[in-house]
Amino acid sequence: MQSVYLFPFAEYWWLYAGFTLFVLAMLALDLGVFHREAHEVKFKESAIWSAVWVSLALVFNVLLYFYADWKFAQDERLLAVAGFEPAAAAKQVGLEFLTGFIVEKSLAVDNIFVFVVVFTFFGIPAKYQHRVLFFGIVGALVFRVIFIALGAVLMQYHWIVVMFGVFLILTGIKILFAGDKPMDPEKNPVIKLLRKFLRISPQIEGQKFFIRKEGLLYATPLFVALVFLEVSDIIFAVDSVPAIFAITKEPLLVFTSNVFAILGLRAMYFMLAGVVHKFVYLKYGLGLVLVFVGLKMVWLNEAFGGKFPITWSLGIIAAIIGTSIAVSLLRKTPTHPPAPHAGAKVTAE
């Protein structure tokens, strides 16, 4: 089954290229100007950057809507492809991007929990955490592009759509009913594998990922933490990429909403790291969101003539996430952040 897209790559390659150049420019500006010198990112700075990334995503959303409204009006094939008038197609595009961005932004909160545990375990000083996250985000972007490209191909087959839908439902149910198990990086196979192939220094050596001692190359705890975060993101992508394909099948919307959510992840971490433990019911909201998008893929889209209304999806997802956050913040029982770990256990063996 061959899908027909509103934004075929052969025609809109320049939009992909322009967006990619914009992202690279923003990353260069971030590391080369604003974070050239390692420093601890305070709440105010992270809140400003969070607002910047969200604002950029919303501005892109509006510009994409107006461009689609103008472009689709000149393209008669939209009546056959989209099944509705060009103006309605442009509105659909705007809502799908917004819904996808909200889903990805919400699922990204899981990454923050991992960041807190990893940085605490490896004893990464606050002033070096941004550097680790920066390169972690760059790696995450590369892997997301690969996953999205594969998803665009695989999601053309109905049985694969159903399979991923069932997977999301089961993952959501597991989140809802599984107990909280503290993550122990020391027992992670990634750490054990690194120890077999790399000499690992037990000491933090400034912001360096590798150092030389007596002519021998050593990886520092910063590099080990970086690898751990990259592997964690790949695992999270297995959930998040199919989830957004349940919202929209347009690769351009999947790509851009994913990228904006990931770009704002560092700022969101520094803003929420100290209070993320208070969102005790958020994981249940995320579980329900995964169950919902899984049901869209398995049943709801077909039940509604091939496409579950995007306005309903946006409302349901926003209500679930908003309610879980509100209930968490209203919870009277005091919650406490996890006790800090004694330090890194990454000595070479």
Note the pLDDT of residue 76. 63
The pLDDT value given to residue 52? 92
List beta partners, residue 217. Answer: 212
d(CA 79, CA 72): 9
- Over the stretch 64-74, which tens digit does the pLDDT of each residue have? 999 998 888 77
Between the two ends of the chain, the Cα-to-Cα distance in Å is 52
What is the Cα–Cα distance from 211 to 41, expressed in whole angstroms?
Answer: 25
Q: Is residue 68 part of a domain?
A: yes
- State the residue range of the domain holding 56: 9-187+238-330
349 within a domain of the structure (yes/no) = no
Of the candidate ranges 105-109, 319-323, 326-330, 341-345, the one whose mean pLDDT is the lowest: 341-345
* β partners of residue 219: 200, 210
pLDDT > 90 in the chain, percent: 26
**Contact call for residues 253 and 97 (beta carbons, < 8 A):** yes
Which sign does the torsion angle of CA 78, 83, 89, 92 carry? negative
For 150, other C-beta atoms within 10 Å of its C-beta total 11
Both tokens of residue 137? 């985000």
Mean pLDDT of the chain: 83
- Enter the tokens of residue 265: 């992840």
Share of the chain above pLDDT 70, in %: 87
Residue 230 lies in a domain: no
Q: Tokens for 289? A: 């969101």
Q: Kindly report the CA angle at 148 between 57 and 169, in degrees rounded to 5? A: 95
Among residues 81, 63, 79, 62, the alpha carbon closest in space to that of 7 is found at 81
Q: Is residue 300 part of a domain?
A: yes
The answer for residues whose C-beta is within 8 angstroms of residue 58's C-beta and 6 or more apart is none
Q: How would residue 256 be classed by pLDDT, with cut points 50, 70 and 90? A: very high
Instruction: Determine the pLDDT at residue 333.
Output: 53
What's the mean pLDDT in 234-246? 85
DSSP letter (8 states) at residue 286: H
Dump pLDDT digits (tens) for 139-198. 988 988 899 989 888 888 888 889 999 999 999 998 888 766 666 666 667 777 887 888
Within a domain: 153 = yes
Structural domain count, the chain = 1
For 180, which DSSP code? P
pLDDT tops 60 at residue 335: no
d(CA 345, CA 274): 23
* Residue 139 phi, psi dihedral angles, 5° rounding: -65, -40
pLDDT band at 349 (very low <50, low <70, confident <90, very high): very low
85 falls in which pLDDT band (50, 70, 90)? confident
pLDDT for the residue 342: 41
| CB-based contact 218:231 (threshold 8 Å) | no
The answer to whether position 202 is within a domain reads no
Task: Calculate mean pLDDT across residues 39-58.
Answer: 88
User: pLDDT class for 329, splitting at 50, 70, 90?
Assistant: confident
Question: Residue 348 above 50 pLDDT?
Answer: no
pLDDT of 292 > 90? The answer is: yes
**Is position 341 within any domain?**
no
Please report whether residue 198 resides in a domain: no
Query: What pLDDT was estimated at residue 341?
Result: 44
User: Which of 11-20, 28-37, 117-126, 285-294 shows the lowest per-residue confidence on average (mean pLDDT)?
Assistant: 28-37
